[in-house]
């Protein structure tokens, strides 16, 4: 199995929700600790959480978990800055890493099985990118092999890694992620989740 780390983006200020979605209660944990626990259960190493807004509260919520917490001072610039901060940190500590998964903290149906499937599909397919497929789209969590690290580090502004999925369709494999289209951005989303 390839040595694969994960970057969990948890830097936003949840402006549409009005309270930090990272800390929303979900199945006896928070949304963020649900995601980090699933990553640890999938034996990904290292597990890096990129914080920004609410750095202290978010960091405190991860107390006792074997994760690296990276503060991204440029979090307001958008998702790219979080990817760059997380990957730069991982590569400085683990230069031999073969792949990295980029995940967000507000997909409640993420699981260790799904994350493991990304790694096994990467190994079996020989493709450099493995993304999740849901709702006629592809997206996070998404695995990038080492050959894409330089391009990830060159991302800027509000662009996420999705641009690379469009740029290299022939080097892309997918795994099905039922419920992957459900993320938490508004109060209605929270209500649906708690009622579901």
Given the structure tokens 């309270």, which residue do they identify?
Answer: 19
Given the structure tokens 């699933």, which residue do they identify?
Answer: 38
Strands (E) across the chain are located at 4-10, 25-26, 29-30, 47-51, 68-71, 99-104, 129-134, 137-145, 172-176
* Structure confidence by residue, pLDDT tens digits, 86-143: 999 999 999 999 999 999 988 889 999 999 999 999 999 999 999 999 988 899 999 9
Counting the structural domains of the chain, the total is: 1
Res 14 pLDDT > 60 = no
Distance separating the N- and C-terminal Cα atoms of the chain: 35
* Structure confidence by residue, pLDDT tens digits, 39-85: 999 999 999 999 998 889 889 999 999 999 999 999 888 889 999 99
The Cα–Cα gap between 109 and 192 comes to 13
pLDDT of residue 146: 96
- Residues 7-26: what's their mean pLDDT? 73
* Structure confidence by residue, pLDDT tens digits, 140-169: 999 999 999 999 999 988 778 888 999 999
Which CATH number covers residue 146? 3.90.550.10
**Which range of residues forms the domain containing residue 149?**
4-195
pTM, to two decimals: 0.92
pLDDT of residue 92: 94
């Amino acid at each position: 199995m390839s040595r694969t780390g994960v970057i969990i983006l948890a830097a936003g200020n949840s402006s549409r929700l009005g309270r930090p979605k990272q800390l929303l209660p979900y199945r006896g944990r928070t949304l963020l600790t649900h995601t980090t626990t699933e990553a640890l259960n999938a034996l990904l190493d290292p597990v890096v959480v990129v914080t920004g807004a609410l750095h202290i509260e978010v960091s405190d919520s991860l107390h006792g978990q074997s994760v690296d917490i990276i503060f991204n001072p440029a979090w307001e610039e958008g998702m790219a800055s979080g990817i760059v901060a997380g990957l730069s940190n991982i590569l400085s500590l683990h230069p031999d890493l073969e792949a990295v998964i980029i995940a967000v903290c507000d997909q409640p149906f993420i699981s260790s099985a799904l994350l493991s499937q990304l790694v096994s599909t990467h190994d079996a397919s020989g493709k450099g990118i493995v993304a999740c497929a849901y709702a006629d789209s592809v997206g996070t969590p998404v695995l990038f092999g080492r050959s894409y690290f330089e391009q990830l580090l060159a991302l800027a502004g509000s662009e996420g890694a999705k641009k690379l999925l469009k740029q290299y369709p022939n080097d892309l494999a997918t795994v099905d992620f039922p419920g992957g289209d459900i993320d938490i951005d508004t109060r209605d989303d929270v209500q649906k989740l708690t009622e579901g």
